[in-house]
Chains A and B, each alone.
Chain A
Amino acid sequence: MRQILDTLLREQGAESSTTDDLDAALGQLRETPPFDLLAVDCMGPDRGGVAWLMAVREAAPQTRILVVSGETRKERIAAALDAGADEYLMKPFPREALREKLLILGLVK
């Protein structure tokens, strides 16, 4: 999924970096100039979930957060949004759906 997202985001003209380590991602968000977008799957079992999203929101208030996840329960989507996610994309999705989320986030025209 990381590789697919990377490819799709580059297709939209983005420069992107990837990691499978959520702690490393949080560290990078704290230390580097702001990213426009963080696309992350953090809602699955044993992932960072709500607490991790709240930490990201605090560490990188300017970064738009798009959660991409196979978790499709309404209460979990609502929890992600409450914790600071700006958008949520359920897996699986067609490539147009990612572009539409970027439109909603004001990151493409």
Chain B
Amino acid sequence: MPWDTVSGLTEADFEGIRTLVRERAAISLELDRMPLVEARLVGLARREGLPSAKALIELLDAEQSAGPVARRVVEALTTHETAFFRDFHPFEALRTVVIPDLLERIGDTRPLRIWCGAASTGQEPHSMAMLLHTHFPEVEARIVATDVSRAVLARCEVGRYSSLEVNRGLPAKLLVRYFDEAGLEWQLDSDLRACITLEPLNLAGDWPDWPPFDLVLMRHVLIYFDADTRQRVLRRVHGQMTPGGCLLLGSTEQPVGLDDCFAEERLGQTGWYRAIPAEGTP
């Protein structure tokens, strides 16, 4: 592709960024992502009070080891579009089939445990919290929300969204029921936010010692990994699930090469993957 950037970034700069993001987040940035990378770096430079994206790269190069600038660059490049109840139909499947099934399996022995593996600014875990509160008010649930970016998790914790953000996928009845006006923004009810535990997590790095999850949402994040990393992460996800637990991926994502771990189930447009018990598991 022709190398022509308005920001003055060179091919060598882009290669450096690609290496950084691959090493830190195991995410492969293809060359055709260059315009997006450029736009994100220009935006980050502006937020950091720097005169240009080139100045940001110079600051990055000056860091002796991967420091705060590198972390913010990785975060800026790994934050993806999100919306409340994204795609809508998966949440209908969760409400009507998946969650009732999981509740039947665990009985009233313990809380339902859910992991949102790419929480971004919180729309997905917050959608899950609203869904549970609206349709399963008696159910005790624990939601763990993780993301590689500390900056987006900080936003998730506060639960404040612009009008543009609450316009995206959030039914107006839920907006009125669960959000309060906060200046020009809207803030999610504190009780709903309290049932969510936030943790920064690089899916390709070390994971904390969690109890197994009944439901894992890992949507629209694995597409950024190369095939080997994707398979490795999903195998670890399987090991982090209860036998018979359910995994939801993005609509175009599949657990390729993991037939020993997951069995697909469907309802209409929504597919999910049931964790097959590992050998020797009762």
List the interface of chain A (C-beta within 8 A of B): 72-74, 77-78, 81, 85, 87-90, 92-94, 96-97, 100, 103-104, 109
Q: Is the CB of B164 within 8 A of A74?
A: no
Other-chain contact of A92, B164, B173, B175 (Cβ < 8 Å): B164
Q: How far is the CA of A100 from the CA of B163 in the complex (A)?
A: 15
Determine whether the beta carbon of B167 is less than 8 Å from that of A97.
Answer: yes
Which 5 residue pairs are nearest across A and B when measured between Cβ atoms?
A: A88-B172, A103-B88, A97-B167, A100-B169, A78-B176
Hey, which chain A residues are within 8 Å of B269, CB to CB? 109
Contact A74 B181 (CB under 8 A): yes
Contact with B171, one of A74, A78, A87 (Cβ below 8 angstroms): A87
Contact assessment for B172 and A77 in the assembled complex, using a CB-CB cutoff below 8 Å: yes
Seen from chain B, the residues whose Cβ lies within 8 Å of a Cβ on chain A are 83, 85, 87-89, 163-164, 166-169, 171-173, 175-176, 179-181, 269
Q: Which of B164, B166, B181 contacts A73 (CB 8 A)?
A: B181
- The complex places the Cα of A82 from the Cα of B169 at a distance, in Å, of 20
Complexed CA–CA distance, A94 and B88 (Å): 17
- Is A89 in contact with B167, judged by CB distance below 8 angstroms? yes
**With the chains together, A78 CA to B173 CA distance in Å?**
8
Complex Cα gap A81–B171 (Å) = 11
Instruction: Report A-chain residues with C-beta under 8 Å of the C-beta of B83.
Output: 96, 100
Alpha-carbon distance between A82 and B251 when the two chains are bound, in angstroms? 35
Sample (12) of A-B pairs whose CB atoms are under 8 Å apart = A72-B163, A74-B175, A74-B181, A85-B172, A87-B171, A89-B167, A97-B167, A103-B89, A104-B88, A104-B169, A104-B171, A109-B269
